[in-house]
């Protein structure tokens, strides 16, 4: 059970961060379809989503330790 809780603490912030950056990217590029986004936007929002996910995970990890 501890392993499942730890996995949830890792994947939930990352999924949240990617969904938030997807929404921002959709509004910026005015399209809900990722295939229509310019490639530099896709790379930029992938990096931002990963960084934001890591930051949220790190913050949650610190509050549970």
Give the pLDDT confidence of 28-38 residue by residue, as tens digits: 888 888 889 89
Which residues, including other chains, have CB under 8 Å from residue 43's CB and lie 6 or more apart? none
Per-residue CA distances from 49 to 3, 32, 34, 64, 65 (Å): 24, 16, 14, 22, 24
What is the value of pTM for the model shown?
0.74
Nearest to 45 by CA among 20, 16, 15: 20
11: confidence class by pLDDT, cuts 50, 70, 90: confident
What is the domain partition of the chain in residue ranges?
Answer: 2-64
pLDDT number for residue 48: 92
Of all residues in the chain, the percent with pLDDT exceeding 70 is: 95
Average of per-residue pLDDT values in the chain: 86
pLDDT number for residue 51: 92
């Amino acid at each position: 059970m501890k392993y499942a809780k730890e996995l949830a603490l890792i994947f939930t912030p990352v999924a949240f961060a990617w969904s938030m950056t997807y929404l921002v990217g959709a509004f910026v590029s005015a399209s809900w379809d990722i295939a229509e986004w310019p490639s530099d936007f896709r790379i930029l929002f992938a990096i931002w989503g990963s960084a934001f996910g890591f930051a949220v995970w790190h913050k949650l990890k610190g509050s549970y330790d």
